[in-house]
Amino acid sequence: MSALMVNEQLDFNTLKELLGVTDGNLASHLKSLEKSGYTEFRKDFLGRKPNTKYMATKKGEMAFKQHIAAIEQLLK
């Protein structure tokens, strides 16, 4: 989520490289975030190749900010 909070959108391969995870691991996490309503995706084609871009939803942004605030409270 943090990567999507500081980028308007990221494609699957960029997220995979940034996070250093496998295709399956990333797909599983993205599916879970999507089910929670925290992310959404858009599928496009670059030539003949599919390109899936992910972005945080308003609900996801709010949940992430609440999560960070809770961590900051714990650290105080």
pTM of the full predicted structure?
0.85
Q: What is the pLDDT of residue 10?
A: 97
Contact 30, 38 (CB under 8 A): no
Q: How many domains does the chain contain in total?
A: 1
Tell me how far apart the alpha carbons of residues 32 and 19 are, in angstroms, rounded to a whole number: 16
pLDDT band at 67 (very low <50, low <70, confident <90, very high): very high
Domain that holds residue 65: 2-75
Mean pLDDT, range 3-24, rounded to an integer: 96
CATH number of the domain to which 61 belongs: 1.10.10.10
Contact 8, 55 (CB under 8 A): yes
Q: What is the pLDDT of residue 28?
A: 97
Both tokens of 43, joined, read 């599928």
Q: What is the pLDDT of residues 29-39, one digit of tens each?
A: 999 999 999 99
